[in-house]
Structure formats: C-alpha cells, structure tokens
Amino acid sequence: MARNRPPVGKTFVVFALGLAVAAGLSACSSTTPVQNAAPAGFLATLGKSTQVGSTVPSNGDVNPYGIAVVPTTIGALVQGDTLVSNFNDQANTQGTGSTIVEISPNGAAIPFAQIGSLPSSEACPGGIGLSTALSILPGGWVVVGSMPAGVDGALPNANPAGCLIVLNSTGTPVETWSNQNINGPWDMTTVPTSSGAEIFVSNVLSRTAGGTSTPPSGLCTVARIDVSLATGIPPVMTGSTVIGNGFPWRANQAALVQGPTGSALGKNGTLYVAETIGSLIVAIPNALSRTTAVSAAGSILTSGGFLNGPLGMTLAPNGDVIAMNGNDGNVVEISPAGHQIAKVSLVPNGAGDLFGATIAPDGQDLLFVNDGTNSLDIAAKANSGTTRTSATTSTTSTNSSSTTTGGSTTSTTQCTIPQNNGGDQDADNNGGPSDGDGCDK
C-alpha cells in the first residue's frame, strides 16, 4: 500500500512561529544528541523488528495511528491484546477512519469497534475521524479521539472541532466529551488516579471565540481532562484545564494537520509532548496538579539532533522518553534531563511510516504501528545488544563517550551498522546523505 504520510515538514514551509520555537531555545533545552558517558538505554536492548499482524479491518480502513495495550480482560477486551485506531477510510481519505482493531500477540485481529453513529443524545462536532488519541481506562472503558476531516478533505469548520468518544468494553459508544479545551484531539496519554483518571490531550486546532472558519495555521494547546469513575456507570468528565499553550499547528494536504502529537507522563510528574513542526520535545512540569499553562516556546526539553518530525511517544521502563520520528523511520530515546541517548532505525527509509507506540505487556519490547504496511509491529528485546541483519532489523546509534579540550567538547559516536552496506556513503543506512551523527563514512 502507498504510504499515507509524507515526510513531515516537507510539504509546506514552516511558518514563522514554528521556526521561532525551534530556534529560540530556552536555557533548559538541548540542541545536540551528545550524552557524555551515557549508559546503555532502553533502545540498546532491542533487536529485530517484525510484524505482529495487519491493522486493516473488513471495511478496509487504513493508516493506523493510535495504540493501546489491554491491561485486563473484560467484555471483548483480552489482556495482552493491542487496540489500534485507523485514521483513514478504504479510499485513503484522511480523517475519515472509524474503526478500532484488536490484535492478539500472535497476530490474530478482530474488529473491536466500527463507529458509524453515536448515541442520539451525544454529539461530536465535525463528525468522526479516529486519531492517535487512544486509551483504556480502569473498568474497560475505551477513550478515542475524533479529529474529523471537513468537506473534500479540508479541516473541519466546527468550533470546537472533534471530541473524545467513550466506548464500553464491547466497543459500543456510550458518550462523547467536547468543550473549548478539546479542539482537534490528536493524541493522548492517561494515568489512573484514586477517583478515576487524568487524560492529557494534545490538540491540533485553534479557533477564535465564536469563529466558524478554520485558519491554515495557528497556536494550540495541551489540556488535562479530569475523569471520575464509579462502578456500573460510564466515566464522567468532571473538568478540563489547559496546561500548555503556544504549540504551533498547520494544515497539511497529505497529513490533514500537523502539530503537537505524542505525550508521555514521566515518573517525576512532568508531561513530555512531541511538537512535530519544530522537531522538539516540550516538558510541562507538575502536569497532574498545575492550574496554569506553560508556554511551549519557554519549556523546550530538547530539539533537533536525532529528532526529525517526532509524532507518537511513550515512556520506557527506565523512565526515558521514546519518540517516533515521522520523517525518517527512526525512534529516539531521550533522558528526563533532555539528553538524546540513541536513535534506532525501525523502518529503513521509513518517512511517513511511524506514529503511535507503546511498551509491550512484558515491559521489554516496543510495539508500534507501521503506516507503510498498515500493520502492528514489534521491536523485541535482543539477547545481547542490537544488531542489523535484515531490512526488518533495528540499527542503534548511541553517543557513548566524549572528551573535553580547551573548554570545548568533542564527541565520539559508536554505532552498530550493517556489515554489508554495498559501499553506501550513508553507512547508518538512514536513506539519505551523511547526517553528521558519526555513523556515516
């Protein structure tokens, strides 16, 4: 199948604020992948990347985006299975997918939900187009974001646009959540609390108050959604708070829209958010309790380096942030201090292939969607390090040592590269010219 997402940032010129965010880094940001005397990270333990199973359901939906592992068996949900949401319909039209597929560890896939309509009492402004925002709450309640396309594939004019759809454990929609703080829900991460759950939503649209048209670009937000859970009744949204603002977004003809995407809540209570346009990661401290919003431009954890249009994110077992590049098929590991520890090629020449990712139930492997093959893939733990022996095997680049001379730092990069690269000048086989990461000959 044709790839569904072009290299991020190559279709349109980044608008001025996006460039400013990337260039005007705060004092806490890192613009280099160098990590002095870095220990081996999570990605260094991964080996061969293989396909688990197809994500295409019987109605032909494609372009898998969201991903969530089932924690407990209840209803149609089976512990250890993986849910995947599809963003495109059979005709490959962005923002029109309506299905969630449940895939077992052995690759068997069954439909979990096909959302053709909503309860009469519930509404989703703009319609249905399932995004990367996908989570499973305690009790088997599934929450999925809808970021629908408008007429002829344009952005929706609804204000706000989209919603969060709540399904029960058998895949039936029971309610929707929508307000001004949920505007183009693009991705999410969730953490249980003593009374329910907190959902962190990355929005990719913005509107003026009362506006009924959609601009081609703007600044959007990240919001915390407070959820109450009680036995026997659906979850209740009890509040919403914008905790991050000033994130650039823009319309994109092939991808529909680009903006803040993946998020991961760190063990320190910091929410990490991937900003695709600027190739950077924003850190929002005290995300569970804060009542005011931080500025994206003033809260950059790291930018550039190995990052190349990051999309989906997850948290590694060691507490590092794992970011999936939309531009090159690489995954990047970043420490809570902002050091870019390593990059791994999951899909060689994989521009447009990576999106949602999560840690497998065993806590050792990386599950991710592959938009190029419309499949759920896994990078499994290797017995000793990461090697590359075929087109589906990972390659790791790590910065392992540095020396300081006269106040300046010179980095020495060690890489695991293919032994038979046919004389390719780009020895780390990332599909392009030398990228200066120390792995090129």
Secondary structure of 257-272 as H, E, C letters: EECEEEEEECCCCCEE
Residue 421 lies in a domain: no
Low-confidence stretches of the chain (pLDDT < 50) are 1-30, 32-38, 384-441
Quick one: pLDDT at residue 431? 35
Residue 366 lies in a domain: yes
Residue 437 lies in a domain: no
Quick one: pLDDT at residue 211? 78
Domain that holds residue 228: 16-415
CB 97 within 8 A of CB 87: yes
Residue 162 lies in a domain: yes
Q: What is the Cα Rg of the chain in Å?
A: 20
Give this prediction's pTM.
Answer: 0.81
Residue 427 lies in a domain: no
Phi, psi of 147 (to 5 degrees): -125, 80
How far, in Å, CA of 278 to CA of 218, rounded? 14
Residue 302 lies in a domain: yes
Angular region, 253: left φ>0, alpha ψ -120 to 50, beta rest? alpha
Quick one: pLDDT at residue 316? 98
Residue with tokens 């929410």: 271
Residue 8 lies in a domain: no
Residue 330 CA neighbour count, 13 Å, CB half: 23
CB 340 within 8 A of CB 307: yes
Burial state string for 159-178 with b = 16 or more CB within 10 A and e = fewer than 16:
bbbbbbbbbbbebebbbbbb
Kindly report each contact of residues 411-420 with a partner whose C-beta sits within 8 Å and lies 24 or more positions away, as own/partner.
411/34, 411/438, 412/438, 413/437, 413/438, 413/439, 414/438, 415/439, 416/385, 416/386, 416/387, 416/388, 417/388, 418/388
Residue 430 lies in a domain: no
Query: How many CB atoms within 10 Å of residue 101?
Result: 25
Query: How many CB atoms within 10 Å of residue 299?
Result: 21
Provide the number of structural domains found in the chain: 1
The secondary structure of the chain in percent helix, strand, coil, rounded to multiples of 5, reads 5, 45, 55
Query: How many CB atoms within 10 Å of residue 230?
Result: 11
CB 204 within 8 A of CB 220: yes
- Here the CATH number for the domain that contains residue 166 is 2.120.10.30
